[in-house]
Amino acid sequence: MRKASITPLGKALLGDKEIKRALLLKQIEDICLEVGLLNQSDVVNKSEQWQWVADIVDDHIMGSGLLRRLMFKNARADDGCELFNSIVRDIVERLMTQQKPFPHRR
């Protein structure tokens, strides 16, 4: 997995929730494209399959924020590595257990 270094500007931008979501979603999209879970047209057209992945990202961002506020008052706001890993684990878990089945292509 590639790891990009974060510049001071990047750290500042990660404070913005929409930018953080977009960056995280892009990283997850790239992985899903690499393994064939999504194709480029899914991403461009925001297909049902893409929405399934985006919903997981949103759930984790929201959950992470709630946990950080409730339990970890001194948690670093820029620590996205754990969040990223939890999203990837959840996608794999949902695919394997069919907890929330991946939408079938029509």
Evaluate if residue 104 carries a pLDDT over 50.
yes
Residue range 8-66, pLDDT digits in tens: 766 666 667 788 889 889 999 999 999 999 999 999 999 999 999 999 998 888 777 76
- Residue 7: per-residue pLDDT: 72
**pLDDT category of residue 1 using cuts at 50, 70 and 90:** very low
- Residue 86: per-residue pLDDT: 81
Least confident of 15-19, 23-27, 71-75, 84-88: 71-75
Q: Helices 48-71 and 81-97 sit at what angle, rounded to 10 degrees?
A: 130
Q: Are 29 and 38 in contact (CB under 8 A)?
A: yes
pTM attached to this predicted model:
0.62
